[in-house]
Amino acid sequence: MTSKFMRILVAAVFALSLSAWAQTAADNAATPNAPSSASAAATPLATGTKVGTINIEGAIFNCNEGRRDAEALSKKLEPKQAELKGVSDEIEALKKQLSTQGDKMNEDAAAALRKQIETKQKAFERSVQDAREEAQGQQGEIMQRVLGKMAPVIAKYAADNGYGLLIDTSQQWPQGPVIMAGPSVDLTTQIIEAYNIKSGVPAPPASAGGTKPAARPATSPAKPATAPAPKPATSNPPKQ
C-alpha cells in the first residue's frame, strides 16, 4: 500500500470504529435493559487530560492477531513473488544478451530482441502493479479487521488511564505530523498487550532466527532496470 493510502485507511477505520463504539455505549446507557456489548458499555469516553502517542500500524501488525494474519498473507503471496522474480530474471537475461551480443547481430535480429524486451517489460510492469494492488487490498482488509476490534481497547485504555488525546505516530515526520515523541508517552506496547489478552490469539511460533516485530508482506519484487536504449542506425549502406 502506498503510505498515503494507509494513513487515510487507518484514520478512517479508527474514527469509524471509535464512533460506532461510542454510539453503542451511548445507546446502552440510554436503554439499560437493552442487550449490550460489555466492551462498549463498560467504559466512558476518554475525558482525561494526559497526552499519549500510539503507532497504530505497529500495534496492528505486531499484536498476535496481526502478526499471524500478516505471516499468512506473506506465505500466500510467495508463489506470485516467485513467478514475478522468474519473469524479472528472464528480462534481465535478455538485456544482458542485447548488451553483450547486440553489436554482433544484424539490425533485424537486434531490433527483434529489443522489441521482445520492451514487450516483456511492459507486461511485467502490469503484472507487478496488479500484484501490488491485490496485496495492498488484502493488507487493508487485515488492518480494517484488526483495527475495528482494537479501537474499543484503545478507547478503554485511554479512559481508564486518564488520556484525553492520543496521536498516531505510524508515519515519521515530515510524512506524519509528529516531529518528536519520547518513549515515555508511547502506548503502543501497552495497547498490544491489552489487545492480545482481549483477542485471545496466541503468539505465532518464533522463527528460526528468533522473534522479531512482524513486517508487512512484500507486494512485488524489485523492478528490473530499464531496457537499453536502441542503438542509432549505422551509416553503412544496406546489404544487397
Assigned C-alpha cell, 67: 502478526
Q: How high is the pLDDT of residue 176?
A: 86
Q: What is the pTM of this model?
A: 0.69
DSSP state of 218: P
The CA distance from 2 to 128, in Å, is: 14
Q: How high is the pLDDT of residue 131?
A: 95
Assigned C-alpha cell, 187: 502506548
As to burial, measured by CB atoms within 10 angstroms (0-12 exposed, 13-18 middle, 19+ buried), residue 225 is exposed
Which has the closest alpha carbon to 5: 43, 57, 50?
57
Assigned C-alpha cell, 150: 482494537
CB 66, CB 60: distance < 8 Å:
yes
Q: How high is the pLDDT of residue 14?
A: 55
DSSP output for 38-95: HHHHSSPPP---EEEEE-HHHHHHHSHHHHHHHHHHHHHHHHHHHHHHHHHHHHHHHH
- Per-10-residue mean pLDDT of the chain, 240 residues long, equals 50 53 49 46 67 96 96 95 96 94 89 95 96 95 96 94 94 88 94 97 74 49 47 44
The CA distance from 8 to 57, in Å, is: 12
Within its chain, how far is the Cα of 95 from the centroid? 32
Geometric angle at alpha carbon 160, from 159 and 163, rounded to 5°:
50
Within its chain, how far is the Cα of 230 from the centroid? 38
Buried b (16+ CB within 10 A) or exposed e, 31-51: eeeeebeebbbebeebeeeee
Q: What would you report as the CA-atom Rg of the chain, rounded to the nearest whole angstrom?
A: 26
